[in-house]
């Protein structure tokens, strides 16, 4: 099979197949039927893949000699139904705003399995977290530490906290999604003594129960080296603080950031191998520093939902500039997936209604926003396309819908879950009349 033919099979797996109509089928559901029913753009989540991805993390962590906790980073994609799926799989979640906390709560997600992140949590957000008696607050800075100290004292309420430290390690990824280097807005700096001060303050607090430390070095990281370097920094400090003031690291959260494959040209990755290696290296470091094995928390977002998402668009206009470029336009773009414009991210796509047709022409896929930079995919081989064809863009489950906007007043797409031949509308499509929920007409006397 030639490369072009092989491309037709990228993203196909147990749950993602081609049916007898030559349509893309996910979990036994014809994606063209879904597009006809719900309209386009349409985001489809293959829930079995979400469950399999979680299972892979569980298998990878099974060899860690103490307890572990998988805390899904909701920011990658959240919906009430997704929180319910995560709960069915018996994992935890992290939230980064009052909005995500609200949704998790509405989903009935167990409060003790919710952990709260963020570099500027507001007073109201901290109150909401205390009201809901969540599992941990991951404290990011002195302002928050002080506010939380005062709040818990006033309420005479205890809460478990984890101190987020910045290990001073540069991860090999896009600079917009690196977080572990010293010049970062997140966390207490390990090298200049601020992290130690925060740990001391939390340890002597009456109402804050200090569980341990958190680090997160960035996102879409493929290797293990920067995790190991960062863990080494964190554990060395944990040992020093144990000796100097009896700090006990009951929990170590090493963040998320595990990379996924978005296109056939990306190297195939094994999250299992990556996490297994990190966990084994962690055990070596713990032994080296003679530290007790903490509960190991990880916070994957992208690697749980990314490969489970497919976006279906309808193709409309075309513009051929001979010798230069063939543009084809879709009915969405940067309003439902800002990642190409923001991080230069690459995607791969097929014609969902003609999966096996040979890819004979090179096209560039333009979004519909009034912005030259709204190009979803550059230089993609596709069959000759015509208006009305459906384009399936693969592996869009991570941070695409989650970062969607109403730029150009384009309504956000619907989100459908599919599993075992069944479909379910998780988030309904926005309609232009929804904009009126926020609008007021100018008063006559204004
Ligand atoms: N934990 C913390 C503290 C984080 O800041 C993040 C991501 C995660 C966990 C989850 O990382 P993941 O496993 O999903 O890589 N919008 C960007 C990604 C931003 C990531 C922000 N923090 C993108 O579309 O690539």
pLDDT tens by residue, 245-271: 999 999 999 999 999 999 999 988 899
Instruction: Output the pLDDT for position 173.
Output: 66
Instruction: Output the pLDDT for position 179.
Output: 67
The Cα-based distances of 47 to 43, 141, 399 in angstroms read 12, 36, 17
User: Which atom of ligand 1 is closest in space to residue 338's alpha carbon?
Assistant: 24
User: Is the CB of 177 within 6 Å of ligand 1?
Assistant: yes
Q: Whose CA is nearest to atom 15 of ligand 1?
A: 257
User: Is the CB of 258 within 6 Å of ligand 1?
Assistant: yes
Percent of the chain whose pLDDT exceeds 90: 93
| Mutate-to-test residue for ligand 1 from 119, 171, 214, 302, highest number of ligand atoms within 8 A of CB | 302
Instruction: Output the pLDDT for position 431.
Output: 98
Q: Is the predicted pLDDT of residue 304 greater than 90, yes or no?
A: yes
pTM over 0.95: yes
b/e for 90-115, b at 16 or more Cβ within 10 A? ebbbbbbbbebbebbbebebeeebbb
User: Which atom of ligand 1 is closest in space to residue 117's alpha carbon?
Assistant: 3
Measured in Å, residue 4 CA sits from the centre of ligand 1 at 33
- pLDDT-derived band at 75 (thresholds 50, 70, 90) equals very high
- Whether residue 343 contacts residue 178, with contact meaning beta carbons closer than 8 Å, is answered with no
Measured in Å, residue 396 CA sits from the centre of ligand 1 at 15
**Across the strands, what pairs with 166?**
189
- Whether residue 221 contacts residue 172, with contact meaning beta carbons closer than 8 Å, is answered with yes
Instruction: Output the pLDDT for position 119.
Output: 96
CB burial class (10 A; 0-12, 13-18, 19+) of residue 394?
buried
Positions marked active-site: 370
- Whether residue 137 contacts residue 114, with contact meaning beta carbons closer than 8 Å, is answered with no
Q: Is the predicted pLDDT of residue 180 greater than 80, yes or no?
A: no
The tokens for 7 are 């491309």
Q: Is the predicted pLDDT of residue 175 greater than 70, yes or no?
A: no
CA angle (158 as vertex; 152, 159 as ends), nearest 5: 95
Of 53, 50, 52, residue with least CA distance to 82: 50
Instruction: Output the pLDDT for position 177.
Output: 62
Of 414, 377, 420, 370, residue with least CA distance to 395: 377
- Whether residue 359 contacts residue 7, with contact meaning beta carbons closer than 8 Å, is answered with yes
User: Is the CB of 173 within 6 Å of ligand 1?
Assistant: no
User: Which atom of ligand 1 is closest in space to residue 257's alpha carbon?
Assistant: 15
CB burial class (10 A; 0-12, 13-18, 19+) of residue 309?
buried
Query: Is the four-CA dihedral 338, 271, 257, 27 of positive or negative sign?
Result: positive
Of 321, 326, 319, 316, residue with least CA distance to 379: 326
Q: Is the predicted pLDDT of residue 182 greater than 90, yes or no?
A: no
User: Is the CB of 219 within 6 Å of ligand 1?
Assistant: yes
Cα(147)–Cα(132) distance, rounded to whole angstroms?
A: 17
Q: How far is C-alpha 5 from the geometric centre of its chain's CA atoms?
A: 31
Q: Whose CA is nearest to atom 24 of ligand 1?
A: 399
Q: Whose CA is nearest to atom 19 of ligand 1?
A: 177
Instruction: Output the pLDDT for position 183.
Output: 82
Measured in Å, residue 218 CA sits from the centre of ligand 1 at 7
Give SS3 for 381.
strand
When pLDDT is averaged across residues 70-80 and rounded to a whole number, the result is 98
Measured in Å, residue 219 CA sits from the centre of ligand 1 at 5
Instruction: Output the pLDDT for position 176.
Output: 64
Q: Is the predicted pLDDT of residue 278 greater than 90, yes or no?
A: yes
Q: What is the pLDDT of residues 364-401, one digit of tens each?
A: 999 999 999 999 999 999 999 999 999 999 999 999 99
Q: What is the pLDDT of residues 89-131, one digit of tens each?
A: 999 999 999 999 999 999 999 999 999 999 999 999 999 999 9
Instruction: Output the pLDDT for position 6.
Output: 79
User: Is the CB of 92 within 6 Å of ligand 1?
Assistant: no
**Across the strands, what pairs with 116?**
95, 137
Instruction: Output the pLDDT for position 178.
Output: 64
- Whether residue 326 contacts residue 320, with contact meaning beta carbons closer than 8 Å, is answered with yes
Cα(53)–Cα(334) distance, rounded to whole angstroms?
A: 27
Measured in Å, residue 221 CA sits from the centre of ligand 1 at 10
When pLDDT is averaged across residues 192-199 and rounded to a whole number, the result is 96
User: Is the CB of 395 within 6 Å of ligand 1?
Assistant: no
User: Which atom of ligand 1 is closest in space to residue 221's alpha carbon?
Assistant: 15
Measured in Å, residue 322 CA sits from the centre of ligand 1 at 41
User: Is the CB of 227 within 6 Å of ligand 1?
Assistant: no
Measured in Å, residue 28 CA sits from the centre of ligand 1 at 31
Q: Is the predicted pLDDT of residue 60 greater than 90, yes or no?
A: yes
- Whether residue 69 contacts residue 296, with contact meaning beta carbons closer than 8 Å, is answered with yes
Instruction: Output the pLDDT for position 4.
Output: 74
User: Is the CB of 118 within 6 Å of ligand 1?
Assistant: no
- pLDDT-derived band at 354 (thresholds 50, 70, 90) equals very high
- Whether residue 409 contacts residue 370, with contact meaning beta carbons closer than 8 Å, is answered with no
| Mutate-to-test residue for ligand 1 from 56, 57, 73, highest number of ligand atoms within 8 A of CB | 73
User: Which atom of ligand 1 is closest in space to residue 402's alpha carbon?
Assistant: 16
- pLDDT-derived band at 170 (thresholds 50, 70, 90) equals confident
Q: Is the predicted pLDDT of residue 16 greater than 70, yes or no?
A: yes
Measured in Å, residue 217 CA sits from the centre of ligand 1 at 9
User: Which atom of ligand 1 is closest in space to residue 76's alpha carbon?
Assistant: 14
- Whether residue 414 contacts residue 425, with contact meaning beta carbons closer than 8 Å, is answered with yes
When pLDDT is averaged across residues 22-26 and rounded to a whole number, the result is 98
């Amino acid at each position: 099979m030639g490369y072009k033919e092989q491309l037709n099979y990228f993203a196909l797996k147990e749950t993602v197949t081609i049916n007898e109509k030559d349509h893309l089928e996910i979990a036994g559901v014809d994606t063209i039927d879904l597009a006809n029913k719900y309209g386009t753009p349409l985001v489809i989540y293959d829930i079995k893949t979400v469950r399999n991805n979680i299972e892979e993390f569980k298998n990878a962590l099974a060899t860690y000699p103490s307890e572990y906790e998988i805390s899904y980073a909701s920011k990658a994609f959240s919906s009430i139904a997704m929180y319910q799926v995560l709960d069915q799989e018996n994992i935890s979640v992290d939230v980064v705003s009052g909005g995500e906390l609200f949704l998790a709560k509405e989903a009935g997600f167990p409060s003790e399995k919710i952990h709260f992140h963020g570099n500027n949590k507001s007073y109201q957000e901290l109150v909401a977290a205390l009201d809901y008696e969540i599992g941990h607050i991951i404290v990011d800075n002195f302002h928050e530490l002080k506010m939380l100290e005062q709040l818990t004292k006033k309420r005479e309420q205890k809460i478990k906290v984890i101190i987020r430290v910045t290990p001073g390690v540069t991860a090999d990824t896009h600079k917009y999604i690196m977080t572990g280097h010293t010049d970062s807005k997140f966390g207490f700096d390990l090298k200049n003594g601020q992290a130690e001060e925060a740990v001391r303050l939390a340890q002597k607090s009456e109402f804050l129960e200090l569980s341990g430390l958190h680090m997160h070095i960035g996102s879409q990281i493929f290797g293990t080296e920067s995790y190991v370097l960062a863990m080494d920094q964190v554990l060395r400090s944990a040992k020093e603080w144990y000796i100097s003031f009896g700090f006990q690291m009951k929990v170590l959260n090493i963040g998320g950031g595990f990379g996924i494959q978005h296109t056939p040209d990306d190297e195939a990755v094994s999250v299992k191998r990556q996490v297994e290696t990190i966990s084994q290296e962690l055990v070596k470091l713990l032994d080296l520093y003679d530290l007790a094995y903490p509960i190991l928390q990880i916070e994957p977002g992208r690697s749980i939902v990314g490969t489970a998402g497919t976006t279906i668009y309808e193709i409309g206009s075309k513009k051929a500039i001979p010798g230069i470029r063939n543009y084809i336009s879709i009915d969405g773009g940067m309003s439902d997936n800002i990642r190409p414009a923001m991080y230069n991210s690459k995607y791969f796509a097929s014609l969902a209604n003609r999966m096996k047709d040979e890819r004979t022409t090179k096209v560039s896929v333009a979004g519909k926003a009034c912005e030259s930079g709204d190009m979803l995919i550059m230089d993609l081989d596709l069959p000759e396309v015509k208006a009305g064809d459906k384009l399936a863009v693969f592996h869009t489950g991570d941070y695409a819908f989650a970062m969607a906007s109403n730029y150009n007043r384009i309504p956000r797409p619907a989100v459908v879950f599919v599993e075992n031949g069944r479909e379910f509308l998780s988030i309904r499509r926005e309609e232009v009349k929804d904009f009126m929920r926020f609008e007021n007409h100018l008063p006559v006397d204004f």
